[in-house]
Amino acid sequence: MLVYDLDGTLFETLPDLNTAVNLALAHHGHPRATESQVRKAIGDGARILISRLARAGSSEEEIDKIWATFRERYLEVCADSSFVLPGVESFLEARSRDLPGRHQAILTNKPQAPSDLLSERFAMNRWVGRVVGGDTPFGRKPDPTGLRHLMTWANTTPERTLMIGDGPADLAVAHQAGVKCVLVEGGYGNPEELNGLPWDWKVANFAELAVLWPEIEPRNP
């Protein structure tokens, strides 16, 4: 089974996240965040994103209010400027073609509703059989519950599973679940948070991953 992160791995979603964040911050009288600040704050779920960007010293109640507004605004704009990253569709198609019946899934800390909307808008169900968001009962990465759930759903094992993502939560969840991991460079979050986290392969993009694929394909032990 192949399990993919969504933001910064399969999709470029930063412009729409940036729009929704700043609409929410402005609505509650907080200073605007730069796109660079938003990029670095992505990776651990929407509420933590807001907590990192709200005015310093904001109460938990205030963060919750901004978070609620963000969720409303993001659902309105999440597919306005977002797009599938280069090489992703051809990689997913090739994996479906070279092994019919291969399970492919998305495990993201983005809430379920916008994750589903993006998946549907870009017809990811051509290749992806399951999308698990960060506000489900399975928790958020690096909690391995969601990844273990997907392995159960696919009736597979850690040895036959590969996590592909761009951030520290992806590396950490793979490590906790005993799954090998591909780090896609240049994604979201703070690059310094990757320091000391294990990864098995590192690629610049999906075109490079496609070339590397025969070497790293999970096989029966």
Quick one: tokens of 110? 């983005």
| 200 counts as catalytic | no
Question: CB–CB of 221/101 below 8 Å?
Answer: no
Say whether the peptide bond before residue 218 is cis (omega within 30 degrees of 0): no
Beta carbons within 8 Å of 106's beta carbon, 6+ residues apart: 3, 4, 5, 6, 10, 115, 119, 124, 128, 130, 131, 132
**What are the E-state strand segments in 60-209?**
83-84, 104-107, 130-132, 162-165, 180-184, 201-203
- Which of 5, 44, 166, 170 is flagged as catalytic? 5
**Catalytic (active-site) positions:** 5
